[in-house]
């Protein structure tokens, strides 16, 4: 009777949780049904992280995107030339800039031109949900006719110097109509302050530059001159490094930028599609004066996570030889349960990433071993968290950090089954202190003696002595 009573209680508790999440825990346990029920009972009742708060608030949502045109005539022209096809636009990335004073915060969205029909490729979202071209409609309306404008933007990054970095792939569909270009806008004035067109030797015919991450290296918070931008080449399977101060760039190639054929099929809520995308998700560790930074990255068609010191990437010897030393880029031995798209890291060294199945957002404290047992739930929702293509950590004006996520029913885009009568795209956000309340992600390991990811990060680090995180794989 006692065993029956315990099982009944456990079944009641387990029914409260997503069955796919429980599958993850069962796979980790693998020691028989009795231990599974016992551990699940303890997790549900005793471990605070299992019950951590995990609600992301919906900021905007659309069945299909709506745009503002400078005039009715401009909209008619766009429709007539198929520069605007209602329902064709798919948002991929997000950026958020909190302005001081009475001005409202700015939410950016990117809308790559996978095909024709997208009137705007980089825009801001108004309170009414309507998207307005940034910095203006004319810059977005080039459609490949004016290469000084914006052709196709996949992702953006905002740095501590209030600059918006925009990577323009220069392609409409598979057609390279303009050279790729990296742009920077002053977010206080919305003026273009930097443009870099990579040398053709740094990319190949299949290259598609999509994800920029910005490494501002000045020790003075007001020093923005020493800046590097690392850009993922998702279908050329490489990395572009831009030295902003010297206005030059180089290409890096290595096998870990490639997709895994066995991970090229994606299944989201019962619908499957194939996509052999290489390096896509990237995140930088916090900057600390006098210390190197780590770049974490993964291919979309993969379940592995990789890490490299940025000092390796910033070595301009790649100008003459793009092949990276295979010993300089490392893959963590353990893998995610399935594929992930975007990722971002906060100022405590906690990585945030989405999973396809179940549709969810997770965190990992990079002071711990990269392992499923150290992945912890932020939010799981089969309806609202399908395909997290945009994940950003944003600093607000109160000194807090926020997690912003853009999700889409991308599987329906890929299979041609998208329905404009249903909500297909969402922007969601929440403050990290709320999301991480009671979460094990903010608790460093007991035996970790390095303070790299501690709450109070010192100016200088002691020597690396931990077996966890990136350091264990980067020691030589």
**Strand partners for 122:** 110
pLDDT of 219 reads 79
Same domain, 136 and 212: yes
pLDDT of 443 reads 80
pLDDT of 34 reads 31
In a domain, 212, yes or no: yes
Secondary structure percentages of the chain, helix, strand, coil, to 5: 20, 30, 50
Of the residues 197, 232, 250, the one at which a domain ends: 250
pLDDT of 16 reads 45
Helices 2-14 and 33-45 cross at an angle (nearest 10°) of 60
347, two tokens: 């100022």
Same domain, 75 and 202: yes
pLDDT of 445 reads 64
pLDDT of 230 reads 98
Look at residues 175, 168, 187, 199 and name the one whose alpha carbon lies nearest to residue 322. 199
Same domain, 76 and 179: yes
Tell me the C-alpha to C-alpha distance, in Å, between residue 190 and each of 37, 157, 204. 57, 15, 32
Please provide the DSSP assignment of 448-474 as one string. ----TTSSS--SSPPPP--SSTTHHHH
In a domain, 113, yes or no: yes
**Strand partners for 429:** 57, 404
Reported pTM: 0.85
Same domain, 104 and 151: yes
How many structural domains comprise the chain? 2
In a domain, 76, yes or no: yes
pLDDT of 412 reads 95
Tens of each residue's pLDDT in the chain, 476 residues: 444 444 444 444 444 444 444 444 444 333 332 333 233 334 333 333 333 445 899 999 999 999 999 999 999 999 999 999 999 999 999 999 998 877 789 999 999 999 999 999 999 999 999 999 999 999 999 888 899 999 999 999 999 999 999 999 999 999 999 999 999 999 999 999 999 999 999 999 999 999 999 999 987 878 898 999 999 999 999 999 999 999 999 999 999 999 999 999 999 999 999 999 999 999 999 988 778 899 999 999 999 999 999 999 999 999 999 999 988 999 999 999 999 999 999 999 999 999 999 999 999 999 999 999 999 999 999 999 999 999 999 999 999 999 999 999 999 999 999 999 999 999 999 999 999 998 999 886 665 544 433 223 332 333 333 455 665 556 54
Give the Cα separation of 93 and 155 in Å (integer).
5
What CATH number has the domain bearing residue 185? Answer: 2.120.10.30
Same domain, 38 and 101: no
pLDDT of 393 reads 98
Give the Cα separation of 188 and 387 in Å (integer).
32
pLDDT of 35 reads 34
Give the Cα separation of 230 and 17 in Å (integer).
39
Whether the Cβ atoms of residue 216 and residue 160 lie closer than 8 Å to each other: yes
Same domain, 76 and 212: yes
Q: Vertex 27, ends 25 and 29: CA angle to 5°?
A: 70
Same domain, 132 and 91: yes
Of the residues 201, 218, 250, the one at which a domain ends: 250
pLDDT of 475 reads 55
In a domain, 428, yes or no: no
Place of tokens 């409260």: 16
In a domain, 51, yes or no: no
pLDDT of 136 reads 97
Same domain, 20 and 105: no
In a domain, 108, yes or no: yes
Of the residues 250, 272, 287, the one at which a domain ends: 250
In a domain, 304, yes or no: no
Same domain, 223 and 123: yes
Whether the Cβ atoms of residue 382 and residue 357 lie closer than 8 Å to each other: no
- Domain extent, residue 166, equals 64-250
Whether the Cβ atoms of residue 111 and residue 90 lie closer than 8 Å to each other: yes
Peptide bond into 5 cis (omega under 30): no
Q: What is the largest CA-CA distance in the chain?
A: 77
In a domain, 178, yes or no: yes
Same domain, 194 and 72: yes
Helices 19-29 and 33-45 cross at an angle (nearest 10°) of 120
Same domain, 13 and 98: no
pLDDT of 142 reads 84
Q: Is 170 left (phi over 0), alpha (psi -120 to 50) or beta?
A: left
Q: Which residues contact 115 (CB under 8 A, 6 or more apart)?
A: 88, 172, 173
Same domain, 29 and 106: no
Please provide the DSSP assignment of 136-196 as one string. -HHHHTTTTS-TTS---EEEEEE-TTSEEEEEE--EETTEE-S--EEEEEETTTTEEEEEE
């Amino acid at each position: 009777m006692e065993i029956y009573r315990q099982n009944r209680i456990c079944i009641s508790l387990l029914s409260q949780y997503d069955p796919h999440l429980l599958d993850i825990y069962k796979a980790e346990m693998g020691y028989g049904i009795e231990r599974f029920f016992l551990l699940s009972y303890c997790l549900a009742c005793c471990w605070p992280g299992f019950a951590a708060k995990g609600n992301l608030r919906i900021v905007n949502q659309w069945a299909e995107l709506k745009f503002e045109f400078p005039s009715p005539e401009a909209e008619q022209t766009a429709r007539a030339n198929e520069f605007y096809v209602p329902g064709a636009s798919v948002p991929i990335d997000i950026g958020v800039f909190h302005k001081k004073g009475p001005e409202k915060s700015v939410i950016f969205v990117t809308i790559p031109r996978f095909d024709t029909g997208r009137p705007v490729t980089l825009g801001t979202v108004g309170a009414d949900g309507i998207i307005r071209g940034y910095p203006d409609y004319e810059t977005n309306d080039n459609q490949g006719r004016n290469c000084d404008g914006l052709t196709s933007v996949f992702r953006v990054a905002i740095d501590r110097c209030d600059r918006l970095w925009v990577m323009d792939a220069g392609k409409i569909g598979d057609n390279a109509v303009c050279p790729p270009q990296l742009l920077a806008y002053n977010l206080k004035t919305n003026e273009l302050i930097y443009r870099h067109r990579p040398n053709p030797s740094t990319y190949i015919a299949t290259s598609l530059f999509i994800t920029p991450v910005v490494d501002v290296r000045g020790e003075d918070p007001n020093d923005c001159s020493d800046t590097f931008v690392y850009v993922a080449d998702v279908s050329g399977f490489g990395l572009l490094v831009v030295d902003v101060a010297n206005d030059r760039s180089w290409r890096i190639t290595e096998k870990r930028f490639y997709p895994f054929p066995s991970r090229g099929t994606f299944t989201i809520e019962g619908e499957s599609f194939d996509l052999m995308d290489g390096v896509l998700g990237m995140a930088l560790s916090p900057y600390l004066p006098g210390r190197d930074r780590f770049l974490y990255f993964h291919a979309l068609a993969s379940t592995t996570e990789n890490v490299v010191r940025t000092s390796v990437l910033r070595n301009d010897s790649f100008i003459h030889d793009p092949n990276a030393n295979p010993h300089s880029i490392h893959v963590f031995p353990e893998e995610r349960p399935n594929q992930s798209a975007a990722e971002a890291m906060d100022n405590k060294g906690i990585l945030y990433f989405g999973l396809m199945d179940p549709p969810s957002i997770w965190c990992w404290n990079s002071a711990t071993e990269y392992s499923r047992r150290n992945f912890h739930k932020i939010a799981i929702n089969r309806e609202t968290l399908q395909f997290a293509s945009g994940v950003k950590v944003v600093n607000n004006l109160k000194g807090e950090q926020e997690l912003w996520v853009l999700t889409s029913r991308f599987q329906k885009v890929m299979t041609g089954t998208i329905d404009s009568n249903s909500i297909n795209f969402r922007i969601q956000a929440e403050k990290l202190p709320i999301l991480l309340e009671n979460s094990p992600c903010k608790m460093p390991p007991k035996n970790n003696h390095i303070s790299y990811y501690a709450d109070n990060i010192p100016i200088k680090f002691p020597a690396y002595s931990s077996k966890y995180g990136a350091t264990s794989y980067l020691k030589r």
